[in-house]
């Protein structure tokens, strides 16, 4: 992974946008989308139905680390939309969750693309996703959909996301570190020559 580009530079966003023309990256993003949709169908229940973990975030974070925020936002939209069509579980489609998925792809991409997967960086990503996307936005969407007050969903979301944070950080760190050591980016996605 290159580490020289600042997220505030035009070169960073040009590199992120150029990933849309890389056939290997697009194939990888399709694979990430498929794996994330499948993993969303198999949550692991930790303490009954109220506390469960979906492992799709691991493959989404891995994908965004290698294809960046532009492809990450598109992949987030695809995962949310196709995932709903395949397994909506009888619930109505709600575009708020699409916004959250696209925003999460942006966050993962901006904080992980062309960066080393340090523990501090992964903790920062999980804090923003867990409390910004899941608690703040997720509580707004749930209160709009199900009618209970925002504070009810924010409180339960805060407890759940705080409980899951260490496990999510560890899983992301393990996956991203292993992929970085194996040279996934250099060997398969961005071959030179």
Q: State the alpha helices, DSSP H only, in 41-94.
A: 56-87
Query: Is residue 66, in this structure, part of any structural domain at all?
Result: yes
The yes-or-no verdict on residue 173 having pLDDT over 60 is yes
Q: Which domain holds residue 89?
A: 10-117+173-189
Question: In this predicted structure, what is the pLDDT of residue 122?
Answer: 97
Query: Is residue 125, in this structure, part of any structural domain at all?
Result: no
* Structural domain total, the chain: 1
Spatial CA neighbour of 91 closest among 139, 138, 146: 146
The yes-or-no verdict on residue 83 having pLDDT over 60 is yes
Question: In this predicted structure, what is the pLDDT of residue 185?
Answer: 75
Query: Is residue 167, in this structure, part of any structural domain at all?
Result: no
Range among 67-76, 139-148, 181-190 with highest mean pLDDT value: 67-76
Query: Is residue 141, in this structure, part of any structural domain at all?
Result: no
pLDDT-derived band at 57, boundaries 50, 70, 90: very high
The two three-digit tokens of residue 78, written as one number: 């695809």
pTM of the entire predicted model = 0.89
Query: Is residue 43, in this structure, part of any structural domain at all?
Result: yes
Determine how β-strand 52-53 pairs with β-strand 44-45. Answer: antiparallel
CATH code of the domain in which 32 resides: 1.10.1760.20
Query: Is residue 160, in this structure, part of any structural domain at all?
Result: no
């Amino acid at each position: 992974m290159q580490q020289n580009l600042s997220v505030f530079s035009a070169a960073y966003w040009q590199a992120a946008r150029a990933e849309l023309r890389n056939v290997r990256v697009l194939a990888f993003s399709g694979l990430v989308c498929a794996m994330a949709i499948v993993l969303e169908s198999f949550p692991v229940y930790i303490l009954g139905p109220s506390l469960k973990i979906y492992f799709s975030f691991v493959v989404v974070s891995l994908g965004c680390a290698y294809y960046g925020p532009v492809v990450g936002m598109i992949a987030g939209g695809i995962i949310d939309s196709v995932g709903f069509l395949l397994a909506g579980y009888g619930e109505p489609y709600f575009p708020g969750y699409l916004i959250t998925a696209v925003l999460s792809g942006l966050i993962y991409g901006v904080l992980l693309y062309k960066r080393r997967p340090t523990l501090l960086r992964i903790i920062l990503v999980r804090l923003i996703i867990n409390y910004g996307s899941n608690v703040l936005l997720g509580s707004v969407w749930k209160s709009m959909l199900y009618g209970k007050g925002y504070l009810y969903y924010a409180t339960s979301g805060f407890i759940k996301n705080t409980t899951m944070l260490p496990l999510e950080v560890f899983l992301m760190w393990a996956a991203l570190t292993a992929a970085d050591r194996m040279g996934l980016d250099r060997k398969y996605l961005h071959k030179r020559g």
